[in-house]
Amino acid sequence: MAEFPGGPSYIVAAAPFRISFAGGGTDLPAFYEREGGAVFSCAIDKHVYVTVKRLSPFFDDKYRLNYSQTEIVNSVEAIENSIIRACLTLLPVPPPLYIGVIADVPTSSGLGASSSFAVSLLAALHVLRGERVSPAQLAAEAVKVEIELLHRPIGKQDQYIAAWGGLNYMSFEADGRVNVEAQPLSSSAISQLFDSTLMFWTGITRDAGTVLRSQNENTENNLELLRRMKGQAQQLREMTMKKFDIGAFGNVLKEGWDLKRKLSDAISTDEIDRWYHAGMKAGAYGGKLCGAGGGGFLLFVAPPERHAAIRRELPHLRELRVQYEPLGIRVILPSWT
């Protein structure tokens, strides 16, 4: 295997999680290959951190991996973590090698964790190889890892928001092209949006692939719903081009959740519905489950003066405070400017 003497021996990379406000599900190929999809989403100040270190030849084991589990193996093929295995298959580097992963929030939480992980690891491996690549290339490679190599039935929005950061309208063309359009929302409007945002951990983890597989199978029956959800992403985009109305923004989220629940029986549960209705009754403009559905984080957009009442209605759910993240993938060590 070729050596890469031009790269450093120790890298730390971080990619943000995201909130998908509208259009989620239209980034699945079953829909966008027919009509094109659109998503309106935003990076948040919670991240996946990946450390990659070249080990000295005195280490007998070729790969030492530390994430929620620990692996010590002697070949890429023996690695159990599918994303690490696929990333090293796509971007081979000579062992011995250490890879460590830690995140600000749990996996399977609806915030795009697996894609943020893939983007972070790919960025670190490129730096290790002495290569400088663009966010667009990292996003496309993460799509290749998750969808082409691992055959996960997921969409393409998470990889691009992890790479680009910020608040974006993304369109997914039938030929596979992805367009990322940064939104011209003022800093005061972004502050208003996040000052109005509440997120609660349901404690329910779920495999997004299971939920999305069910949605994929029902695409033919859900075309009109998906068209309307795509239209909501376009509607939020239009809102950023005029005086920002947080109440109208929240109402689009409410309408989008009402539509999304109809896509599949796996999207929500009776318990999640009770929590959602309690938050709405307490004064939220709108809300939704983050991600594919079935669990993870419950998001509300509400006037700040109603936040205390919403918290009182959901006393058993832990709150996650989030802020806007303007940056996408970052290589923290060594400095990558």
pTM of the model: 0.93
Other CB atoms within 10 A of residue 139 CB: 27
Nearest Cα to Cα of residue 21 among 190, 303, 232, 216:
232
Q: How confident is the model at residue 111 (pLDDT cuts 50, 70, 90)?
A: very high
Long-range contacts of the stretch 56-60 (C-beta < 8 A, 24+): 56/96, 57/96, 59/96
Question: For 46-69, how does the pLDDT look when each residue is reduced to its tens digit (9 = 90+)?
Answer: 999 999 999 988 888 899 999 999
Q: Where are the domains of the chain?
A: 10-185+325-333, 187-319
The third-level CATH classification (topology) of the domain covering 10-185+325-333 is Ribosomal Protein S5; domain 2 (3.30.230)
- Higher-confidence residue of 207 and 160: namely 160
| Residues 161-193 pLDDT 10s | 999 999 999 999 999 999 999 999 999 999 999
Q: Is the pLDDT of residue 215 over 80?
A: no
| 187-319: CATH, from 3.30.565.10, 3.30.300.30, 1.20.1640.10, 3.30.70.890 | 3.30.70.890
- pLDDT (0 to 100) of residue 56: 84
Collapsing DSSP to helix, strand or coil, 126 comes out as: helix
Question: By the 8 A CB rule, do 57 and 96 touch?
Answer: yes
